[in-house]
Amino acid sequence: MDRMIHVALNSLQNLRLDQRINAQNLANMNVAGFRKDMPASRSSTFLGNMEQFESRYFVTASDKMEFSREEGLVRRTEGKLDFALRGPGYFFIDPKTGMPPALSRRGDFSISSSGELVDGAGNFMLDNNQNRIKLPESREVMIDESGTIFVEPLGSPEGTRQQVGILGTTLAENVDLLKGIDGNIRGADGNLPIADQQAQIVQGSLEGSNVDSLEALLKNIEGQRTFELNVKFISQAKDLDEATTRIMRLPGS
C-alpha cells in the first residue's frame, strides 16, 4: 500500500504543477504578445533510504520556465501606438516592478504622464542602449521597421518629422531564453542579448497571445481525469491493504 500511494501522490504533485501552468496560459490568452508557458520538463530518480534498497521511484519536474516561441496571430488595428513584430524578435523592457530588464513581444504601447513609452502592462520600453524612451509632446509618433522613432512635434508644420530615438529590438538568435519568476523573458544566465535591430516592426498592428484556447481547455479536462484516477488508485490501495490484513488474521482472532 505504501508504495502504491507513493506513486499516486508523486503523480498528483506533478499534475498540480501542470495544471498551474495551464491555468496561467488560460488567464493570459487575451494578453497581447503573451508567450505560453510549456509543461515542465521531467526526469526520474530513486529515493535512497539509509543505505537500504532504493525502491522509491520519483518523477521530478525542472524549475526552468520554458515558453513557446511560436508567433501569435497578428491583426490590423490601425492604432497609432499599436506595434507588432513580423517574424522572430523581441522588444526590450524595463519592468515596472523594479526587476532587471527583460524581453517582450507585447506591442500595445502608450505614453505615460511623464512622456515615457510604456506597454500595456506599464513596463517601460527601452532603446538600443537599454535606456528608457522619453518622447517630447507631439501630434503623432511613428516607428519604422528598423525601430527608428520619429515624432511630429507640437507647433511644427504638418508633416514635419523629428527623430527622437531608436526602439531596441533583438532576434536573440542562438540564445537560450527562459521566463523568470516575474513572468518576463531573459537569457538562461540572467543576461540579455544585444540590440541587433534585426527584428521587423509593423505599426498599426497587434500580435495576440500564442495560447491555443482549445488545446488549453482539453488539457484542463485531461488533468481533471488524471486527478480522479489517482484518487481512485489511492482508494483501491487502501482496500487492498485492508483485504490483506483480513487474510493474515489468525482464525478466531
Do 47 and 132 share a structural domain? no
- Tell me whether residue 223 is in a domain: no
The Cα 230–Cα 130 span in angstroms is 49
pLDDT tops 90 at residue 8 = no
**Residue among 112, 156, 154 at smallest CA distance from 133:** 112
Q: What's the pLDDT tens digit per position in 22-70? A: 888 999 999 999 999 988 766 556 555 545 545 555 566 566 788 999 9
Q: 70: how many CB neighbours lie within 10 A of its CB?
A: 10
Do 89 and 38 share a structural domain? no
- Tell me whether residue 163 is in a domain: yes
Residue 60 near residue 43, CB atoms below 8 Å? yes
**Domains contained in the chain, number:** 2
Do 235 and 179 share a structural domain? no
Label residue 133 by pLDDT band (50, 70, 90). Answer: very high
**Residue among 161, 121, 124 at smallest CA distance from 140:** 161
Residue 135 near residue 115, CB atoms below 8 Å? yes
Per-residue pLDDT, averaged over 150-162, amounts to 88
Label residue 168 by pLDDT band (50, 70, 90). Answer: very high
Per DSSP, the three-state class of 250 is coil
Do 82 and 53 share a structural domain? no
- Tell me whether residue 9 is in a domain: yes
- Identity of the residue numbered 39: P
Do 79 and 51 share a structural domain? no
- Tell me whether residue 214 is in a domain: no
Do 154 and 244 share a structural domain? no
Do 203 and 157 share a structural domain? yes
- Tell me whether residue 193 is in a domain: yes
Show the cell assigned to 246. Answer: 483480513
Residue matched to cell numbers 489517482 = 230
- Tell me whether residue 218 is in a domain: no
Distances (CA, A) of 153 to 143, 160, 206, 244: 14, 7, 25, 85
The Cα 41–Cα 61 span in angstroms is 6
Rounded to the nearest angstrom, the gap between the alpha carbon of residue 21 and the centroid of all alpha carbons in its chain is: 9
The Cα 217–Cα 27 span in angstroms is 12
Show the cell assigned to 45. Answer: 530518480
Do 198 and 81 share a structural domain? yes
Contacts of 47 (CB under 8 A, 6+ apart): 54, 55, 56, 57, 58
pLDDT of the residue at 246? 72
The domain in which residue 168 lies consists of: 74-207
The more confidently predicted of residues 135 and 236 is: 135
Do 167 and 137 share a structural domain? yes
pLDDT tops 70 at residue 225 = yes
Residue matched to cell numbers 516575474 = 182
Q: If you average pLDDT over every residue of the chain, what do you get?
A: 85
Do 171 and 123 share a structural domain? yes
pLDDT of the residue at 159? 81
Do 201 and 81 share a structural domain? yes
Do 150 and 33 share a structural domain? no
Per-residue pLDDT, averaged over 129-149, amounts to 94
pLDDT of the residue at 41? 64
